[in-house]
Structure 1
């Protein structure tokens, strides 16, 4: 494979990873809100979230492998796993490494969910929310397509979708927090009567 082919494949897998991880985040929020997607039973949303998470991880692994294989830039396995040590664009590549490390923690704990327990798994699963924007910033900073129209619109669309659905998730959390004290008060008053 030529260096040019590797470069194009790396760009493509980076863009596809952005799309897939965006959909994974959106589905994760849908699962948390117990949203049923049209045409799927409720458990279908969870299954789709898990399946796309694994697919996104596979594309991410391919993206990383292509970056390491491409001889145009010297990216080592150390650069992939340890943030900010690369000679090539250490900040932007380091952010990608941070995002990868966070996603590895989410992936490993998800695969070992039964062993680590639901509480620990859920706490570590919040790292996915941190990983997505870090990976996005990595792509904006290091991506050679960042200034192109199609990549700009893709990035804006992904950010808008996550912000919109994240806003819905936040609104649900605020509503639930407001109801909880009132429900506790009603329960306490009912117990006294």
Structure 2
């Protein structure tokens, strides 16, 4: 049991937990925009924000553990300046960029939305998609467990969920747009 309670296990686990929470956040956000979930929008938005913040905090925990790790230590600046890490600079940099994008999206949602205005905020909020893709690429490329069948299944299921929800969101938005156009034509 003691061999599982080490920094390396917590680094790996926190990476998967961050991926899970941020995938949940993205999923709840996509669902909250669907017309069929109108009645549950407030709940979905709350779950979206909460899982996003917990995901971001888990990334910070993950980075703190990397900084303290004795086996593959990261210097403080390597964690915050993309592509400067001695260990896997490209793959580490993808994680750093993902962190900054998530920080920007989540932080602006809670602290800057009024200053930005809703239109600019919505455009900025779309940065969550590349942030999420970067976290997937980061995890697959640098994760020591990423080639394990169970880890590949986690990434595959999360990716499939986001693809399906994005497709449903796209179709739902087009359907609503067409309905609004018909209403305008018949007025």
Q: TM-score, normalised by structure 2?
A: 0.89
CA distance in 1, matches of 2:124, 2:28: 17
Q: Does 1:68 align with 2:67?
A: yes
Partner of 1:157: 157
CA contact (8 A) 2:81 2:96 kept: yes
For residues 15-41 of structure 1, what are the alpha-carbon distances to aligned partners after superposition, in whole Å with 9 as ceiling and x for unaligned?
11111111111001011225539xx84
- In the TM superposition, 1:40-51 aligns within 5 A as 41-51=40-50
CA distance in 1, matches of 2:108, 2:41: 23
Aligned length: 185
Q: Which runs of 5+ in 2 are unaligned?
A: none
CA contact (8 A) 1:68 1:77 kept: yes
CA distance in 2, matches of 1:79, 1:172: 42
Instruction: Choose 168-177 or 148-157, whichever is displaced more.
Output: 168-177
Partner of 1:23: 24
CA contact (8 A) 2:32 2:40 kept: no
CA contact (8 A) 2:56 2:103 kept: no
Instruction: Choose 75-84 or 53-62, whichever is displaced more.
Output: 75-84
How large is the Cα RMSD of the aligned pairs?
2.3
Q: Does 1:36 align with 2:37?
A: yes
CA contact (8 A) 1:35 1:42 kept: no
Q: TM-score, normalised by structure 1?
A: 0.86
For residues 131-166 of structure 1, what are the alpha-carbon distances to aligned partners after superposition, in whole Å with 9 as ceiling and x for unaligned?
101110000000000111211111111111111111
Considering only CA atoms, is the larger Rg found in Structure 1 or Structure 2?
A: 1
Partner of 1:81: 80
Deviation at 1:68, TM superposition (A): 1.3
Instruction: Choose 112-121 or 145-154, whichever is displaced more.
Output: 112-121
Partner of 2:135: 135
Give the secondary-structure state (helix, strand or coil) at the position aligned to 1:9: helix
Partner of 1:190: none
CA contact (8 A) 1:99 1:131 kept: yes
Partner of 1:123: 123
Q: Does 1:105 align with 2:100?
A: no
